[in-house]
Structure 1
Amino acid sequence: MPPASLHSLSDPHFSADTAAWLAAIVEDSTDAILSKTLDGTITSWNAGAERLFGYSREQAIGRPISLIVPEDRLHEEADIVARLRLSDRIGRFETVRRTRQGISVHVEVTISPLRSADGTIIGASTIARDIGDRLRHANEQALLLGEMRHRVKNLLSIVQGLISIGSRRADDVQTFTEQLTARITSLAAAQALVLHSEDGSEGACATLGEILAAVMAPYESDGIALADCDAAVGQHAMTSLALLFHELATNAVKYGALSNPEGSLRVEITADREAVSILWRETGGQRSESPQIGFGTTLLQATLRGLQGTIDREWRDGIFATRLMLPCDALAR
């Protein structure tokens, strides 16, 4: 609805029917449309203005335009009046106005001069459109893109580290490829849980038990018993925790309980307000007489440092036990 239509209502060449038609268009507009004198007194106020600013027509007409202008924006009105007196049409601009409830609303405003029959400028017409949703969506999109860049950068850094160190440790290309693929699959499982926890679904919350189950799914067998745990795991800790469980599982497959068809693995979890204790118990594996510090061990140590956790290992009576202690506040990050 162009501002000129408000001007047209006072044009003597228009019939009463035309004036009524134009007035109906203004009244039914979803935008706030109002007019004011040069001294800032409100002279008209449509239904859109009532909805946007919360004042009825009776409450607004005859009041100063400062009724809806925040104190820190009053300088805009002085500039607008000065430009109107010079016959300027003030193009579209974004600003802030105030509702009856004292709430600031972001609006897009267009202001045009109103003239009398002899061409004298007697006031101004204003069209204001609420752009709050548009700005919120733009801000949300910017935050989302920033978060995506951050996550992609972190994941690429992890993968680059896996490639760099793994290539120096692997005995052959096939072994390196298999290990790298398994670790990336483990990361994918953790990221799937991150997305699920953010989709807004009821009950969508990643827990320690869910991460353990997701990482161990490829090794599922009758000899594996996994405890559940509803301790919350934050987005930043998910990747580290997935890598940690994957390395323990990989070692169990290569040397430990899962390398023996008759072996068994049991994971027990206890938690209190301060920390989570994870007991990884393997039965039926082989004890290494000369353990070497390989990439898996290095990765475990680095992951635990990131989680501020500790690890203790013990071989006794055919049972290889690994105990992890992880602070709850580090897990929740």
Structure 2
Amino acid sequence: MLDSNPLDIRLAAASLRALPVAVYTTDADGLIVSYNEAAATLWGVRPELGTVRWCGSWRLYHTDGRPMAHGDSPMAIAINEQRAIHGAEAVAERPDGTRVPFMAFPTPLHDTDGTMLGAVSTLVDLSSQQLVKRAQQHLAALVKSSHDAIISKDLAGIITTWNESAQRLFGYDAEEAVGKSITMLIPKERLHEEVEILARIRAGEVVDHFETVRLHKDGSRLPLSLTISPIREEDGTIIGVSKMARDITAQKESEERINALMREVNHRVKNQFAVINAMVRETSTRATDSVEFARQVSERIMALSRSHDLLVNGEWKGSSLFELLLAHVRAFGHEERVGMSGPAISLQPFAVQYLGMAFHELATNAVKYGALSSEAGSVEISWSVSGDDQFQLTWTELGALKPVATPANKGFGSIVLERVAPSAVSGKGELTYLPDGIRWSLIAPLHAIQAKTGSFDAAHHKS
């Protein structure tokens, strides 16, 4: 029964206007007779009272996007069928094109004798709820498709969610993991980490990029990077833990390779320093003055650099003997008068450095005093491997400008050829002075010369 007391009517109207939810009323014919500010905001228009029927929105749509006639709106159905409708969903379109999903609760109003006077409807804006729903769906899709394992647990450490990447990473499917303690993934010696992490989470902290080790279902150990965050209720109360785990096995292996490489580089640099130190020491005892000393040291360091370049280009696995000879001969510009023949051999780095020193000394001597100082002179270099895996190399000069005499005092070059280079490859070197020029021979075990990954194929080179 409707009370006709004017004061009550005014209070009812004021209450309707003040409500934070959209409310409007119609007469028995469906013409809108009142609405509050929230309804006008939802519709985006202010319908003229007594002229607009059923609903004040610009246009209406079904939830699947089909247009809805105003005569098919929840209010129209409630009046036409004289029944209350609870929670009918539709979409209102505002004049600016914005669409607002809403839920309607139209209820017919009757007087004391049962005559329908009109109806009242409350409209609940579902925009925020749908945004939350879409965000939740989006988040669920991200969690499902993430390459990182994403796990949630309560504050007692019991697993509550488990995505597909967690299954791939740890080997357990969701049925095996959910409801179990997270400690099933933690090695015994690292159980203290769980206590410490939970304490930090309860304090509201985010644990970012925490590197640790966890267990696979098969018992193997996995190096992981964990990002751990608190899960909160709307009021901020922490109710659980979200954990993102990233497999860093490849990263750790890369770090190990880098560390091993740095150790190897350090070792090689020390070897280079030792070689340069010996070179400087020996050169200083034989140089006639500081200018000559500086020139010889500079030339020999440049020779080491040429060998080093070959090693860098070969990723420090070695260099072919042919490339090493050519690099040191080419530096003097007479490679067309140097013949080289022998099987293809890949030299190990240590051999590249010391044989490079020997070839530099031989080439330097040939250009200054030996066969390559004469237009008619030439050099023949040949190498072979005997049946007992003995490597043999011979450097022979032909057509020297004048006979080469055995020097009274041996210089640094002679020491390199007779002692330093042969000793470095566990071999023996012999330097012979002939009328046509120098002949140097080297015999060494193949394993001290050849790179472990090198090949030994028949080949012949002529420069």
> What range is the shorter-chain TM-score in?
0.7 to 0.9
Larger RCO (CA within 8 A; separation ≥ 6): 1
More strand by share: 2
Q: CA offset at residue 177 of structure 1?
A: 4.0
Q: Within 1, Cα distance between the matches of 2:205 and 2:398?
A: 84
Q: What amino acid maps onto 2:323 in structure 1?
A: E
Among 172, 194, 198, the residue aligned to 2:315: 198
User: Are 2:335 and 1:224 aligned?
Assistant: no
Flag structure 1 segments of 5+ consecutive residues without an equivalent. 1-11
After TM superposition, list the pairs within 5 Å mapping 1:43-122 onto structure 2.
43-77=160-194, 80=197, 83=199, 89=205, 91-92=207-208, 93-100=210-217, 102-114=219-231
TM-score with structure 2 setting the length: 0.58
Instruction: Report what 1:327 is aligned to.
Output: 445
2:359 maps to 1:240: no
Q: Does 1:158 align with 2:275?
A: yes
Partner of 2:392: 277
Higher helix share: 1
2:143–2:150 contact (8 Å) kept in structure 1: yes
* Greater Cα offset, 71-80 or 89-98: 71-80
**Is the 8 Å Cα contact of residues 252 and 259 (structure 1) preserved in structure 2?**
yes
Quote the Cα distance in structure 1 between the aligned partners of 2:142 and 2:436: 87
* 1:189 is the counterpart of 2:302: no
What TM-score, normalized to structure 1? Answer: 0.78
- Contact 2:318–2:352 at 8 Å: present in 1 too? no
Mark the CA change 1:154 to 1:289 in structure 2 (over 3 Å): closer, same or farther. Answer: closer
Output the amino acid matched with 1:209: F
**How far apart in 2 are the matches of 1:205 and 1:169?**
32
Q: Is the 1:208–1:229 contact (alpha carbons within 8 Å) kept by the matching residues of 2?
A: no
Secondary structure at the residue paired with 2:410? coil
Deviation at 1:132, TM superposition (A): 3.1
Paired with 2:227 and 2:335, the residues of 1 have a C-alpha distance of: 69
- Report the alpha carbon displacement of residue 269 of structure 1 after superposing the two structures with TM: 0.3
**Contact in 1 for aligned 2:197/2:207 (Cα 8 Å):** no
Specify the SS of the correspondent of 2:227: strand
Q: Give RMSD over aligned pairs.
A: 3.5
Q: 2:251 aligns with which of 134, 139, 142?
A: 134
Query: Percent same amino acid among aligned pairs?
Result: 34
Aligned length: 316
Match of 1:262 in 2: 376
Q: 1:198 is paired with a residue of what secondary structure?
A: coil
Which digits, 9 at most, give the CA deviation of each residue in 1:174-222, with x for residues without a partner?
54344333322221221111112118xxxx8512222122211234344
1:41–1:174 distance in 2 versus 1, CA, 3 Å: same
Q: Are 2:342 and 1:214 aligned?
A: no
The answer as to whether partners of 1:115 and 1:122 remain within 8 angstroms in 2 is yes
1: CA distance, partners of 2:279 / 2:146: 60
Query: Of the candidates 296, 302, 310, which is equivalent to residue 420 of structure 2?
Result: 302
Q: Is the 8 A contact 1:84 1:113 kept in 2?
A: no
Report the CA distance shift for 1:46/1:288 in structure 2 as closer, same or farther (over 3 A): same
